Amino acid sequence: MKRRCHQAAPLHASLRLSFDSNTTYLEKTTMKRPLFFGITAALTIGWASAQAADMSAGKTMFADACAQCHGPTGKGMASFPSLRGRDTDYIESRLKQYRAGERVGANSSLMIPNAANLSDDDIANLAAYIAENFD
Amino acid sequence: MSQKPTIRPFCAVLASAAIIGVPATATSSTDTPELSHTTVLSDLENPWDMAFLPDGTMFFTEKCRGLSVRLPDGEVNNLLGMEGTEGYATTTDDLVCQGQAGMNGVAIDPDFDENRTIYVYSASSMSDPRTNRVLRLKVNSDVSNVSDRTDIVDDIAYKPAPTDHPFGDAGAHNGGRIRFDRDGRFLYVTTGDTHNGEVPQSPTRLGSKVLRIDRDGKAAEGNNPPEGFDPRTFTYGHRNVQGLTFHPKTGQPIVTEHGPWHSDEVNALVNGGNSGWDPRPNMAGRGDCPDDYCGYEPNQNEGMDPKERAAYMPLTDTETYPDALQPAWKNNNLSQGISGADFLTGDQWGAWNGRLLVGFMGIGFGGTPVGQRISMIDIAEDGLSVNDVAEMPLPMGSARFRSIVQGPDGDLFVAVDEGAIYRITPE
């Protein structure tokens, strides 16, 4: 089972917080119209998931920025490691470490500048594409 | 050495017949060919080098698998496997793969018809610490196995442990190309600096050298290194040489040399010459460096202007070594993973006849374009400059071009790290 998009997590968290409170506007609103809220929340979460798992964007980014070293099928080349069998958690975690300038492994000098300007969405898209396509 | 009967997996044989003929338009000159390509082999693991018999038989290496051969009918036999491989006629567990190291170059003895001898360059765990070796092997009559292994060189430098450098894993800067000269007299062997500051200018450590040896691994008659150097040394002071060929007219050896975040070089070698690489700490105005190797200084992890970098840590340090070999070409001061090289010869190549082909694997660091391509260089006959550089219009697109070899019928064969060997034909 692939991990769901990470953007959904803050939404879940905010919902959970709102239901824990007796005084928020959101709670009052949702308590009065639970069905409407449920549909809205479901649609919102679904939309967020679709955005995060933008395979097409991930595929394009991979082809442009990753395939030259990791290979078009992610199997690794030369001294560049294979990405096969890596789940989204792993890929996201590594890319965020590199984005933060953290050195992880012998190719950090190449990965840090490559990850420096990635957005959270970029990372989620790449992670989803890699995890889904390079089992 | 254990013996196991084998042929290569059927898929590879099928792949050898696959044809992807996509013509590519050449340059505007009317005397340039259009190119088409076929996929000779696919599903390979890091193919590293090829060598041909006149009938088209192609020996090839895969870095972490070993030595195989593709026969003219397309059948592939796996000959010599490395540690952990299966399906090879012979497997030898001391042949190991790590990082950039593994089984690299392959060369066929010019007298193969009489002696059935080939040579390969491979990392080996037979010594402690590990070394790179040049193995001499005998090929059996039906080209299905090898035997009579003799390690004619067993002391080429190998990087045994990781260091704090880009590409810093063990096995880095491992050289590995081997070629006989055009006279078929001596074998040339390229080696790397192994991320070790002392190796390039060391008289005795066999890294950062181009060796010239006979078929037994003895120093070639006429080698002329400085006093005190290992007599097998033809040239020294290199960084990491992975391309080697010989000028079709003069026979002069020409190498490609990976640059340190700047300035990949093409160098025409002169017997006894120093290529001018010296990454020792506290040299030429530099201070201490990570793990005593200044090769990526002054700032090994972040991009900067390649010219500024070159001024601080030159690949050819002519201030310290005024007599250093001068590069014919420096890739516009960029480092983009220069690798295999060969000359293109034959009238079928039109205006490109005589061009030096150089493959680039591509490195995108510090604002440098990745640069995967094959460059066609019109190198001056004296090897000291270039007259023109153009990019070959490739029918199969870009890739990590590891090895470039002109085949016996004049077609061009290129091996890419992605796992294929292509054949390029002019039309």
* Shortest distance, CA A123 to any CA of chain B (angstroms): 19
For residue B29, name the pLDDT band (cuts at 50, 70, 90).
low
Q: What is the pLDDT of residue B198?
A: 98
* Shortest distance, CA B304 to any CA of chain A (angstroms): 12
**Order of strands, sheet of B117-124, starting from the edge strand that comes earlier in the sequence:** B103-108, B117-124, B131-139, B146-156
Average pLDDT over residues B7-36: 51
In a domain, A18, yes or no: yes
**Cα A64 to Cα A126: distance, rounded to the nearest angstrom:** 11
Query: In chain B, whose CA is at the least distance from the CA of A109?
Result: B301
Report helix, strand or coil for A77.
strand
The reply to whether residue B366 touches residue A113, judged by beta carbons under 8 angstroms, is yes
In a domain, A1, yes or no: no
**Order of strands, sheet of B241-246, starting from the edge strand that comes earlier in the sequence:** B241-246, B253-257, B265-268
Q: Which of residues 388-427 of B touch A (CB under 8 A)?
A: 400, 402, 417-419
Q: What is the pLDDT of residue A2?
A: 32
B68, B76 contact by CB (below 8 A): yes
Q: Which of residues 35-64 of A touch B (CB under 8 A)?
A: none
Bridge-based pairing state of the strands B420-426 and B35-41: antiparallel
What amino acid is encoded at B64 in this protein? C
The reply to whether residue A68 touches residue B366, judged by beta carbons under 8 angstroms, is no
Count the neighbouring beta carbons within 10 Å of the beta carbon of residue A105. Answer: 13
Average pLDDT over residues B332-353: 96
**Cα B204 to Cα B85: distance, rounded to the nearest angstrom:** 34
> Are both A20 and A69 inside the same structural domain?
no
> Are both A30 and A73 inside the same structural domain?
no
Query: In chain A, whose CA is at the least distance from the CA of B418?
Result: A71
> Are both A31 and A68 inside the same structural domain?
no
* Nearest partner of B327 among B303, B356, B365, B353, judged by Cα: B356
For residue B30, name the pLDDT band (cuts at 50, 70, 90).
low
Q: Which of B7-16, B64-73, B350-359 has the lowest mean pLDDT?
A: B7-16
Q: How far is the CA of B423 from the CAs of B23, B107, B310, B357, B404, in angstroms?
A: 13, 19, 36, 14, 10
The reply to whether residue A114 touches residue B364, judged by beta carbons under 8 angstroms, is yes
B320, B383 contact by CB (below 8 A): no
Beta strands in B225-325 (DSSP E): 233-235, 241-246, 253-257, 265-268
**Cα B199 to Cα B207: distance, rounded to the nearest angstrom:** 6
Q: What is the pLDDT of residue B300?
A: 87
> Are both A36 and A74 inside the same structural domain?
no
Domain assignment of residue A28, given as a range? 8-52
CA angle B359, B44, B7 (to 5 degrees): 135
Beta strands in B209-310 (DSSP E): 210-213, 233-235, 241-246, 253-257, 265-268
What letter would DSSP give residue A68?
Answer: H
The reply to whether residue B302 touches residue A106, judged by beta carbons under 8 angstroms, is no
In total, how many domains does chain A have? 2
Report helix, strand or coil for A37.
helix
In a domain, A119, yes or no: yes
pLDDT tens digit string along B273-291? 999 999 999 999 999 999 9
* Shortest distance, CA B418 to any CA of chain A (angstroms): 6
The reply to whether residue A110 touches residue B171, judged by beta carbons under 8 angstroms, is no
For residue B365, name the pLDDT band (cuts at 50, 70, 90).
confident
Q: What is the pLDDT of residue B20?
A: 40
Q: Is the pLDDT of residue B367 over 70?
A: yes
Q: What is the mean pLDDT of chain B?
A: 93
What letter would DSSP give residue B170?
Answer: T
> Are both A59 and A47 inside the same structural domain?
no
Q: Considering CB atoms only, which of B301, B303, B400 is closest to A77? A: B400
> Are both A69 and A114 inside the same structural domain?
yes
The reply to whether residue B100 touches residue A108, judged by beta carbons under 8 angstroms, is no
B166 close contact with A: CB closer than 8 A: yes
Average pLDDT over residues B36-65: 98
* Nearest partner of B405 among B389, B391, B419, B421, judged by Cα: B421
Q: What is the mean pLDDT of chain A?
A: 70
**Residue range B2-426, CATH number:** 2.120.10.30
* Shortest distance, CA A46 to any CA of chain B (angstroms): 36
Average pLDDT over residues B403-418: 97
The reply to whether residue A106 touches residue B168, judged by beta carbons under 8 angstroms, is yes
Q: Which of A42-51, B142-151, B388-397 has the lowest mean pLDDT?
A: A42-51
In a domain, A3, yes or no: no
CATH code at position A103: 1.10.760.10
**Cα B166 to Cα B260: distance, rounded to the nearest angstrom:** 10
Bridge-based pairing state of the strands B76-81 and B90-91: parallel
The H or E element containing residue B307 is helix B306-312
Q: Is the pLDDT of residue A22 over 80?
A: no
Query: In chain A, whose CA is at the least distance from the CA of B301?
Result: A109
B41, B62 contact by CB (below 8 A): no
pLDDT tens digit string along A89-129? 999 999 999 999 998 888 888 899 889 999 999 999 999 99
* Shortest distance, CA A67 to any CA of chain B (angstroms): 9
The reply to whether residue A110 touches residue B166, judged by beta carbons under 8 angstroms, is yes
Residue A39 tokens, joined: 């549909």
Size of interface A-B (CB pairs under 8 A): 58
B414, B424 contact by CB (below 8 A): yes
> Are both A31 and A16 inside the same structural domain?
yes
> Are both A69 and A104 inside the same structural domain?
yes
B370 close contact with A: CB closer than 8 A: yes
A114 close contact with B: CB closer than 8 A: yes
- C-alpha B117, offset from chain centre: 20
* Nearest partner of B416 among B389, B394, B393, B398, judged by Cα: B398
CB contacts, 8 Å: A79 with chain B = 99-100, 167, 169, 171-172
Domain ranges of chain B: 2-426
The reply to whether residue A78 touches residue B417, judged by beta carbons under 8 angstroms, is yes
For residue B24, name the pLDDT band (cuts at 50, 70, 90).
low
A110 close contact with B: CB closer than 8 A: yes
CB contacts, 8 Å: A78 with chain B = 46, 63, 100, 361, 400, 402, 417
A12 close contact with B: CB closer than 8 A: no
Length of chain B: 427
A22 close contact with B: CB closer than 8 A: no
The reply to whether residue B417 touches residue A106, judged by beta carbons under 8 angstroms, is no
Which has the higher per-residue pLDDT, B187 or A48? B187
What's phi and psi for B339, nearest 5 deg? -140, -115
